[in-house]
Structure 1
Amino acid sequence: MVGTAVPALRAGMRRDLVTQLLGIWLLLAVFLDGWAHLHVPGLETFFTPWHAALYSGLLAMAAWLASLIWRNREPGQPLARAIPAGYRGTVAGVVLFALAGVLDLLWHEILGIEVSLDALVSPTHLLLGFSLFLILGTGVRSARAGSGRDAFAWTPPALLSVALMTGLGAFFLIYCSAFVRAAPALPYLPTPIGSPGHSQAELPAAIGMASYLVTTALIIVPFLYTCSRTQRPPRGIVTLLVAVVAWLPIAMSGFRPAALAGAAGATVAAVVADVALARAAGRMTGRRLPGVSALLVALLWTGQLVGIALVSGIGWPVSMWLGAIVLSSAVAAGLAFASSWNFRSPHIPEASHP
């Protein structure tokens, strides 16, 4: 019929999975390049093995996308119509990544190679990160395109997509990662306000406390997103999120004993949380979600602190490490409350809401 929109073809779960596996290649290459910036002195050229790993991953992704579009093409139809549902953002991400790569080359040739925090906030690197975010989100977009308005199935590619996007966030926020810093392992001497050296003494602990809040948000936001359409979190989602938020940044920054022990403790706690969530009855949305989120975060950080205590001991006073758990739980509950503010399940009659 003239004027009727033709729905885009779906790639299918197997092809989505191949796309996300190529996304793993890209994300690991990003962390490998980050490791090189931290551990290889005198890195003063754009042309490195680590950049080669990243850009070869882009070429592989571009070739895979081209093959998908070529298979879907129809004679007499625009080539854009052959792009699978949910993949337009992927194509835009690949094009933007290539453009950002050229700009990054020019940036490095003119201004040099960043070697510290400036590498994470460089405009060209942030543009590369945004384009990667578009690419890594393919699995979620494809799954949403194939679902009804109220129904949504978390396929393995979609879950992998969420994990990869979260891992990318962990990369760009590694400077305030509670797993990398393991701040409670450091000694802390309370210094009265106004006394000499107060700012210097308080700064590491203040940054450590802030890192708990940022890392909490990095874990709980994708967790809440996975609950937003299915009313229950997918199985294993907490362990998956902790794995990418904790272990990838630790591998990039260095395997310090306190950080390793904390990540191990949090991972064990994540497994326990996933088992408890799988056995819990009822929905995990609406009024229950803030409490569930707060308990989840409290369990994760308790596990981390137990791991740190067993290996190196806790240097923070009880008021600080317990306060970190309480504040983080409050942040999680607040984010959950905000995410469910206007939530109404399609299975609950309107009259059942007060």
Structure 2
Amino acid sequence: MVARLPVWWAVGTMVAMVEPGRIKASYRTDLITVLLGTWFSLGLFLDAWAHSNVPELETFFTPWHAVFYSGFAATGAWILWVVWRNMQQGRRGLAAIPLGYGPAVFALPVFALCGLGDYLWHTFLGIEQGIDILFSPTHLGLIASMITILTTPLRTAWADQDVQAPSLVRFLPSVLALAFTASLVLLFASYADATIYQANGIVRAFSFDKAEGGSSGTNRLAASITVTNLILLTPLLLAARRFRVPVGTATILQIVVMLLSTAVANYENLSTAAAFVLSGIVIDVLLWKLRPSEERIRQYRVFAFAAPFVTWVSFFASAGITVGRMPSVTEMWTGAPIAAGLHGLLLAVVLVPVRR
């Protein structure tokens, strides 16, 4: 007996009309786009690791840059082939560009120009070795164009009014796009990234330990929790505005972010990473029970408070279990999850001020 393919795959292998003159990319096209985008995202993380951990790095031509730019070349070639294929079918101009792919087509030459600028920058000004890598103008141009390319599947799904309550498999390209985008944003905010903290560092920082810089170390961790919280929560709240987010989305997001975070941290933050993955599972349960959306605004706001609260309770619990004691300043580790929840609630009010 021939296995029956899911309806979404059968439809996804064809090019469907969405509006006059514009077409929608297939599911398979979006999946290939985000997987190729994953290639050069991993290349960027390898390059960031090298800038921070290879002191003798003095040239633009490195294995890490090879992974990064070859991934971009493959992604760019794929997107251009999709457009060329549509042109071969008689479409011209914007009509040849699938819905949601227009910004990516624009971002390709921007990325290429920033790549050339990065080569010239390194040639004449040298190789960054610290936090300056995150503020290089050419690097900021690269990351902005990368995010534009990576979020293409999300724009495709957003524009398709038939996609309201997708299954996890159907939503997978969008989930990966959200996860890698969050990872890239967090990478460029790594000076305020709480995911890279080790358990000992968490306990000492919220104990006002002089080994962690005293109050300055405490301030840094508190600020990192605030920034990291908003970066991880925003993709979920954004998706919940438009879709019935499928169970598994939060877990995938946390796994992707933590895989890349642990690599940058030289795998010294494994207990912290485990806490974030565990919180992702609990957040998926919240998505299943609450079904947050613009129409269900009360549940949307409850979710916006509960998701970060669970995340940071897990964060401190993992640190305490690993070290064998909690931070000595009780107000810090008990109040930080509540503050994060309130920040999430405020973000929900900003994103959805009234019921649709």
TM-score (norm 1): 0.86
Alignment partner, residue 161 of structure 1: 177
CA deviations over 1:295-347 (Å, ceiling 9, x no partner): 11111111121111121243342111112111111101111122120331xxx
Deviation by residue 1:62-93 (Cα, 9 ceiling, x = unmatched): 21122212211147753543122211111112
* 1:340–1:268 distance in 2 versus 1, CA, 3 Å: same
- State the SS of the aligned residue for 1:155: helix
- The one-letter code sitting in structure 1 at the alignment partner of 2:203 is A
Deviates more, 1:330-339 or 1:150-159: 150-159
Q: Which of 251, 271, 286 is the aligned partner of 1:261?
A: 271
Q: Equivalent residue for 2:138?
A: 124
Matches within 5 A, 1:143-158: 143-147=157-161, 151=164, 153=166, 155-158=171-174
Superposition map of 1:183-222 within 5 A: 183-186=201-204, 190=208, 201-222=214-235
Aligned length: 330
Q: CA contact under 8 A between 2:37 and 2:72: conserved in structure 1?
A: no
Residue from 328, 340, 347 that aligns with 2:352? 340
* Pair 36,207 (structure 1): closer, same or farther in 2 beyond 3 Å: same
After TM superposition, the structure 1 stretch with the greater mean CA deviation from structure 2, 52-61 or 138-147, is: 138-147
| Superposed counterparts of 1:286-305, under 5 Å | 286-305=297-316
1:327 paired with 2:343, answer: no
Over residues 203-239 of structure 1, what are the superposed CA-to-partner deviations in whole Å (9 max), with x where a residue is unaligned? 1110100111111101111110111012x43211221
Contact 1:297 1:332 in 2 (8 A): yes
**Alignment gaps of 5+ in structure 2:** 1-18
SS in 1 for 2:245: coil
Kindly tell me: are residues 73 and 316 of structure 1, through their superposed partners in 2, closer, same or farther at Cα, counting changes over 3 Å?
Answer: farther
Asked whether the 8 Å contact 2:22–2:94 carries over to 1, the reply is: no
Provide the C-alpha distance between the structure 1 equivalents of 2:205 and 2:152, rounded to a whole number of angstroms. Answer: 44
1:227 paired with 2:250, answer no
Aligned-partner SS, 1:85:
coil
Matching residue of 1:39: 53
- The reply on whether 1:274 has 2:292 as its aligned counterpart is no
Distance 1:147 1:315, change over 3 A: same
**Contact kept in structure 2, 1:174 and 1:249, CA below 8 Å:** no
Higher mean alpha-carbon deviation, 303-312 vs 236-245, is at: 236-245
**Pair 1:269–1:62, CA change in 2 (3 A):** closer
The answer for the alignment partner of 2:321 in structure 1 is 310
What SS does the aligned partner of 1:337 have?
Answer: helix
Checking the alignment, whether the CA contact within 8 Å between 2:276 and 2:315 is kept in structure 1 is yes
Look up the match of 1:194.
Answer: none
Q: How does 1:105-144 map onto structure 2 within 5 Å? A: 105-144=119-158
State the distance in 2 between where 1:168 and 1:190 align.
Answer: 30
What CA distance in whole angstroms lies between the structure 2 residues aligned with 1:152 and 1:283?
11
SS in 1 for 2:214: helix
| CA 1:19–1:201: 2 relative to 1, 3 Å | same
Q: Distance in 1 between matches of 2:41 and 2:143?
A: 10
Call closer, same or farther: CA 1:7–1:275 in 2, change over 3 Å.
Answer: same
In structure 2, the residue corresponding to 1:101 is in which secondary structure? helix
> In the alignment, is the contact (CA less than 8 A) between 1:186 and 1:314 conserved in 2?
no
Q: Does 1:86 align with 2:100?
A: yes
Q: For the structure 1 residues 91 and 276, does the alpha-carbon distance in structure 2 shift closer, same or farther, using more than 3 Å as the test?
A: same
Q: Which residue of 1 aligns with 2:7?
A: none
Distance 1:341 1:201, change over 3 A: same
Map Cα deviations across residues 8-56 of structure 1 (whole Å, 9 max, x no partner).
2222101110001001111111111111112212111111110010110
| 3-state SS of paired residue (2:24) | coil
**Secondary structure of 1:9's aligned partner:** strand
Which amino acid counterpart does residue 22 of structure 1 have in structure 2? L
Distance 1:220 1:281, change over 3 A: closer
Equivalent position of 2:35 in the other structure: 21
Name 1:171's counterpart in structure 2. Answer: 187
Deviation at 1:146, TM superposition (A): 2.7
Report % sequence identity: 33
Q: Give the unaligned 5+ runs of structure 1.
A: 192-196, 345-354
